[in-house]
Structure 1
Amino acid sequence: MNAADSARERGRFEALCMPFRADVFRFVYWLCRDRALAEDVVQETLLRAWRSLDSLGDEKSARPWLLTIARRELARVFERKRLPIVDIDVANEAEPDSLAVNDQHEVEDMRRAILKLDVTHREPLVLQVLLGYSTEEIARHLDISVAAVLTRLFRARQVLRQQLLGAEGSRS
């Protein structure tokens, strides 16, 4: 590949993929809850996208294509990664206030409640609420039926409602 072709290919990649970088980061962050890990996964996602740019058939589907790559890359990270285990009693004895949540804002309550959701329910909710996907797009992206998406969204909202009502009741 000559310099002109390389520059053209890079321009195509940047035009297709870079506008969705923030969406990919938000998606991965909401799934993994770790900013540094999300940044690493986004970088790896863009690298994989660059290497397989020719596999993108329809340029209009760049966003779901990138999100699929990101989701798979995050899964690869967790397949390889051994998470450290912390004894909660030891952590509580060492710094009992460090485990307490002092932020009482509704947005923070909602954020924490979403992060507590199982990934099976959190992922379609994030795709719908943060990224604006329709139920049909979510179904295609997750490779499940529309009915399964609707069920997961319903259950996610049900759990959120229970968590938030419980949090409000404990404040009174």
Structure 2
Amino acid sequence: MLGNKNTVSSVSTDMMTKQRRYEALVKALHADVFRYAVWLIKDRSIAEDVVQETFLRAWKSLDSLQDEGAAKSWLITILRRENARRFERKQFDLVDIDDVSVADPVASSDGNVENRDLRRAIASLSDEYREPLVMQVIMGFSGDEIAEQLNLNKNTVMTRLFRARSQIKEIMTKDNDFGVQLNG
């Protein structure tokens, strides 16, 4: 009988430890993970669902997280996989393009033209340049972490970041000069 009490007590202690560890993880990283999800998915309500699924999977496999310093990368990987799962068996509804009116998704409600132009410039980048840039600027990932997340060589990531910034600078310069590009 005494052996059973010790086992129950040990399991209870392990569960409490896991619960505290999980709560600390959520508290520290939920905002960053959600911000990345909104950027990636571009729909706040779907992003909320995907983040919830991400943290549910994180709870289930929390014991596999050995390095707390890698928690952010680990969660982003889970989030990217959860987002990919949304499309595995999804059948998209087709809509006649003539029946659709499209609002400007980057127009800011506060009228900040420069911010709107910057968002538009970032949105105009191809995914290969936009994703590493957002991961660095919004998520705060280093070049090594981005390389690991995207399964790329670090030099490739650094080149893409450089090109992304160069393209944004070029777009912003053209916009500021009313279509006249500066030489040099």
Contact 1:17 1:66 in 2 (8 A): no
Deviation at 1:117, TM superposition (A): 2.8
Which structure is larger by alpha-carbon Rg, 1 or 2?
2
Q: Specify which of 139, 148, 155 is matched with residue 131 of structure 1.
A: 139
Q: Distance in 1 between matches of 2:97 and 2:155?
A: 39
Under a length normalisation based on structure 1, what TM-score does the superposition of the two structures give? Answer: 0.81
Between 1 and 2, higher relative CO (CA 8 Å, sep ≥ 6) is seen in 1
* Equivalent position SS for 1:38: helix
Is 1:105 the equivalent of 2:113? yes
Q: Distance in 2 between matches of 1:158 and 1:84?
A: 37
Deviation at 1:86, TM superposition (A): 4.2
Q: Distance in 2 between matches of 1:31 and 1:166?
A: 27
Under a length normalisation based on structure 2, what TM-score does the superposition of the two structures give? Answer: 0.76
Q: Specify which of 148, 157, 161 is matched with residue 153 of structure 1.
A: 161
In the TM superposition, 1:82-121 aligns within 5 A as: 82-92=91-101, 99=103, 103=111, 105-121=113-129
Q: Specify which of 28, 50, 62 is matched with residue 37 of structure 2.
A: 28
More moved, 27-36 vs 45-54? 27-36
Deviation at 1:90, TM superposition (A): 3.4
Any stretches of 5+ residues in structure 2 without a counterpart?
1-7, 180-184
Deviation at 1:109, TM superposition (A): 1.9
Question: Percent identity of the aligned residues?
Answer: 48
Q: Specify which of 109, 130, 153 is matched with residue 122 of structure 1.
A: 130
Deviation at 1:161, TM superposition (A): 2.9
Stretches of 4+ moved more than 6 A in 1?
Answer: none
* Equivalent position SS for 2:152: coil
What residue is the counterpart of 2:5 in the other structure? none
Count of residues paired in the alignment: 165
Q: Specify which of 71, 75, 89 is matched with residue 84 of structure 2.
A: 75
More moved, 142-151 vs 103-112? 103-112
Deviation at 1:50, TM superposition (A): 0.5
